[in-house]
Structure 1
Amino acid sequence: MSLFKFIANKDQKPIRIDKFLIQSIPNISRNQIQKSTHSGKILVNQRIIKKNNYKIKPFDIVIAETISTPVLDLEYRNIIEEKIPINILYEDEDIIVINKPAGMVVHPGFGHKKGTLIHGIKYHLKNFSHQKKFPPRLGLIHRIDKDTSGLLLIAKNESSQKGLFQQFFYKTIKRKYIALVWGTLQKEKGSITGFIGRDPKNRKRMILFQTPSKGKYSITHYKVLEKFQNITYISCHLETGKTHQIRAHFKYLGNPLFNDSTYGGNQILMKKKFSKKNIEFFNKCLKILQRQALHAICLSFIHPNNKKKYHFTCPIPEDFQNVLQQCKKQQLLEKN
Structure 2
Amino acid sequence: MDQKSDTFEFVVTDEYEGYRIDKLISELVESVSRTYIKKLIDDKKVLCNGKPVKASFSLSENDVIQVEIPPVEVPEIVPQDIPLDILYEDDDVIVVNKPKDMVVHPAAGHYKDTLVNAIMFHCKDNLSGINGVMRPGIVHRIDKDTTGSVIICKNDFAHNSIADQLKEHSINRVYHAICYGIIDEDEGFVDAPIGRSQNDRKKMAVVKSGGKEAYTHYRVLKRFPEDKFTYIECKLKTGRTHQIRVHMAHIGHPLLGDEVYAQGRSSKFKLQGQCLHAKTLGFVHPRTNEYIETDAPLPQYFSHLLDVLK
TM-score (norm 1): 0.66
**Offset, 1:115:** 1.3
Decide whether the 8 Å contact of 2:128 with 2:159 is kept in 1. no
Over the residues paired in the alignment, what is the CA RMSD in angstroms? Answer: 2.2
**Offset, 1:121:** 1.6
Structure 2 stretches of 5 or more lacking a match? 1-29, 32-70
- Residue of structure 2 in register with 1:89 after alignment: 87
Q: 1 CA distance for matches of 2:128 and 2:211?
A: 33
1:250 to 223, 248, 251: 248
Percent identity reads 40
Deviations 1:152-173 (A, max 9, x none): 0011000011111111111111
Q: Is 2:163 the partner of 1:165?
A: yes
Q: 2 CA distance for matches of 1:142 and 1:122?
A: 16
Q: 1 CA distance for matches of 2:292 and 2:261?
A: 34
Decide whether the 8 Å contact of 1:176 with 1:238 is kept in 2. yes
Q: Is 2:286 the partner of 1:304?
A: yes
Q: 2 CA distance for matches of 1:120 and 1:266?
A: 36
Deviations 1:181-234 (A, max 9, x none): 00012422111011111112222211111x3x3311100000011110210000
| Correspondence 1:71-150 to 2 at 5 A | 78-126=76-124, 131=126, 134-137=128-131, 138-150=136-148
- Residue of structure 2 in register with 1:227 after alignment: 223
- Residue of structure 2 in register with 1:197 after alignment: 195
TM-score (norm 2): 0.71
CA change 1:265–1:183 in 2 (3 A) is farther
Which consecutive aligned stretches of 4+ in structure 1 deviate over 4 angstroms post-superposition? none
Decide whether the 8 Å contact of 2:175 with 2:234 is kept in 1. yes
Structure 1 stretches of 5 or more lacking a match? 1-25, 28-70, 269-281, 329-336
**Offset, 1:311:** 0.9
Task: Compare CA radii of gyration and give the structure with the larger one.
Answer: 2
- For 1:260, the aligned partner's letter is D
Count of residues paired in the alignment: 236
- Residue of structure 1 in register with 2:299 after alignment: 317
**Offset, 1:266:** 7.2
Deviations 1:119-162 (A, max 9, x none): 22222222xx6x4x743231112100000000000110000111
Q: 2 CA distance for matches of 1:222 and 1:110?
A: 34
CA change 1:134–1:314 in 2 (3 A) is closer
Bigger helix share: 1
- For 2:216, the aligned partner's letter is T
SS at match of 2:166: helix
SS at match of 1:241: coil
SS at match of 2:213: strand
| Correspondence 1:280-295 to 2 at 5 A | 282-283=267-268, 286-287=269-270, 289-295=271-277
Q: Is 2:211 the partner of 1:215?
A: yes
SS at match of 2:113: coil
SS at match of 1:240: coil
- Residue of structure 1 in register with 2:186 after alignment: 188
